[in-house]
C-alpha cells in the first residue's frame, strides 16, 4: 500500500496520539512539524541541513510555483523531489490560502477564483480542476483540495457559503485526482462556527483517504477561540486518519494542538522570525539582535544541540544579524526549525509516558 496511517500510541492522560503516516517517499512519525518551502526551498536551508535537523517532510506552495517557475517546468524537471533534491515526502498546498490572503487581488465564484498576479498583475483563473492539475505536475506525495477560507469575523452566512463551496470543490478535486502516487487531503472549513465546522468535518471525512486538514484557523482569531473550535471538532474527528492543522507553528499552539488530537503542523514562523533576528528557545522568544546580547557568549539555547548552538554564540549571531550578513538568518533558521522538530520529539516522549498534559503545563506557557 502506497499510503496508510495507523495510530501506534495514545496518551492515557490526554488522548493525544503518535502515528505513522506512510507515503511513497517514506514513513512519517506523527506528531510532526513540517518546514515550509513555499518556492521549493525552505528559506536559506539546504536539504542536507533539513535532514540533519530531523525534518521528515517539507511543504511547497502550488500557487506560488504555478506563478514561478511554472508547474510544467517542474514536471519536466522530474517533479518537486528531483527539482529540489529532496527524497523525503512533500506536501503541496492547493493555492486555496491565496484565495484568502490575496483577497484584494481576486474574485471568487462557484467555478473558481480569478486572481491578479501579485507579481505583475496578470490575470489567472484557478479552478478546482486547475489546482489538481498543478499539484499533479508538481508531484507531491500529499496534495490539498482547493478550498475557500473565510476571514475571522465573517458572519455566519458568509462562512457557510465558503464552507459549502469548499465541499463542492472537494467533490471536483476527488474526481480529478487520479494519480495513485498522491494522496488528496480534504480541508475542513467553517470559520469559528461550530455547526459549520461539524458539517464540513462530517462531509470531508467521508471523502478523505489517509488524512484530512483543518484550515481557516490561526488567521487572526484569539488562540482560545482556535482551541475551542478544535475542542468542538475533536469528538467527531476520524480516528484512523491523519489530522493536519494548517498554518500553525507557534510552540504553544503545537503543544495545545497535539493535546487536542492533531498530528501534523506547518508554518513559516520559524524561518520568518529568524530572518528578523529572533530565536525560539525553551524559555521563550529571544530577540538576539538586541543590545543585551552584544557580549553574550552563550549559545542561542543551552538545551539545544543544533549546529548553530554547538558552534556559535549569541554575540556572534547578533553581529551577523545586525550587519545584514545572510549567515545570521541561516543560523537562526536552522536553530528554529531544529527547535520545533525537537519539540515534537519531546511531545512524543510525553505521549509515550502518558504525561502530555504534565508536559503542556510545564512548557505550554513560554509563548
| Per-residue pLDDT tens digits for 165-191 | 999 999 999 999 999 999 999 999 999
Q: Would residue 266 show up in a list of annotated catalytic residues for this protein?
A: yes
| Per-residue pLDDT tens digits for 277-322 | 999 999 999 999 999 999 999 999 999 999 999 999 999 999 999 9
- Report pLDDT for 36: 98
Q: With both helix axes pointing from N to C terminus, report the angle between 194-207 and 156-176 in degrees, rounded to the nearest 10.
A: 0
Residue 71 CB partners (closer than 8 Å, separation 6+): 62, 65, 133, 134, 135, 137, 138
Which class is domain 4-268? alpha beta
Task: Say yes or no to pLDDT of 100 above 70.
Answer: no
Q: Is the pTM value of this prediction over 0.75?
A: yes
CA distance 340 to 111: 39
Selection from 342, 343, 337, 344 nearest residue 43 by Cα: 337
Question: What number of other Cβ atoms are within 10 A of residue 261's Cβ?
Answer: 21
Q: Would residue 231 show up in a list of annotated catalytic residues for this protein?
A: no
CA distance 31 to 107: 36
- Domain extents in the chain: 4-268
- Report pLDDT for 106: 81
Q: Which residues pair with 18 in a beta bridge?
A: 9
CA distance 337 to 235: 31
Residues 268-274, mean pLDDT to the nearest whole number = 97
- Report pLDDT for 245: 98
The three-point CA angle 184-211-19 to 5° equals 140
Task: Say yes or no to pLDDT of 228 above 90.
Answer: yes
Catalytic entry in 93, 141, 147, 263: 93
Catalytic entry in 141, 263, 266, 301: 266
How is residue 59 written as a grid cell? Answer: 511543504
In contact, 97 and 173? CB cutoff 8 Å? no
- Report pLDDT for 136: 98
> What percent of the chain stands above pLDDT 70?
98
Amino acid at each position: 500500500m502506497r499510503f496508510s496511517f495507523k495510530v501506534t500510541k495514545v496518551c492515557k492522560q490526554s488522548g493525544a496520539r503518535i502515528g505513522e503516516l506512510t507515503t511513497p517517499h517514506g514513513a512519517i512519525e506523527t506528531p510532526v512539524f513540517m518546514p515550509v518551502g513555499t518556492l521549493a526551498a525552505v528559506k536559506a536551508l539546504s536539504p542536507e541541513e533539513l535532514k540533519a535537523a530531523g525534518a521528515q517532510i517539507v511543504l511547497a506552495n502550488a500557487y506560488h510555483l504555478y506563478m514561478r517557475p511554472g508547474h510544467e517546468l517542474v514536471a519536466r524537471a522530474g517533479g518537486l523531489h528531483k527539482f529540489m533534491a529532496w527524497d523525503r515526502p512533500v506536501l503541496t498546498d492547493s493555492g486555496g490560502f491565496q484565495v484568502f490572503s490575496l483577497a484584494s487581488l481576486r474574485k471568487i465564484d462557484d467555478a473558481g477564483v480569478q486572481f491578479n498576479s501579485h507579481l505583475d498583475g496578470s490575470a489567472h483563473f484557478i479552478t478546482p480542476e486547475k489546482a489538481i492539475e498543478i499539484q499533479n505536475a508538481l508531484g507531491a506525495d500529499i496534495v490539498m483540495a482547493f478550498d475557500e477560507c473565510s476571514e475571522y469575523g465573517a458572519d455566519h452566512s458568509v462562512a457557510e457559503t465558503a464552507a459549502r463551496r469548499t465541499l463542492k470543490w472537494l467533490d471536483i478535486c476527488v474526481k480529478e485526482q487520479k494519480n495513485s502516487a498522491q494522496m488528496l487531503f480534504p480541508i475542513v472549513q467553517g470559520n469559528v462556527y461550530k455547526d459549520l465546522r461539524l458539517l464540513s468535518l462530517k462531509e470531508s471525512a467521508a471523502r478523505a483517504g489517509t488524512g484530512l486538514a483543518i484550515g481557516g484557523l490561526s488567521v487572526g482569531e484569539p488562540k482560545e477561540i482556535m482551541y475551542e473550535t478544535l475542542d468542538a471538532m475533536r469528538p467527531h474527528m476520524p480516528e484512523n486518519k491523519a489530522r493536519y492543522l494548517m498554518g500553525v507553528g507557534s510552540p504553544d499552539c503545537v503543544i495545545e494542538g497535539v493535546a487536542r488530537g492533531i498530528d501534523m503542523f506547518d508554518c513559516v514562523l520559524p524561518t520568518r522570525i529568524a530572518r528578523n533576528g529572533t530565536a525560539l528557545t525553551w524559555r521563550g522568544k529571544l530577540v538576539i539582535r538586541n543590545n543585551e546580547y552584544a557580549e553574550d557568549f552563550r549559545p542561542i539555547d543551552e538545551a539545544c544541540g543544533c549546529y548553530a548552538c554547538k558552534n556559535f554564540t549569541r554575540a556572534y549571531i547578533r553581529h551577523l544579524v545586525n550587519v545584514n550578513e545572510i549567515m545570521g538568518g541561516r543560523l537562526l533558521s536552522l536553530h528554529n526549525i531544529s527547535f520545533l522538530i525537537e519539540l515534537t520529539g519531546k511531545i512524543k516522549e510525553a505521549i509515550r509516558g502518558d504525561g502530555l498534559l504534565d508536559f503542556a503545563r510545564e512548557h505550554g506557557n513560554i509563548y
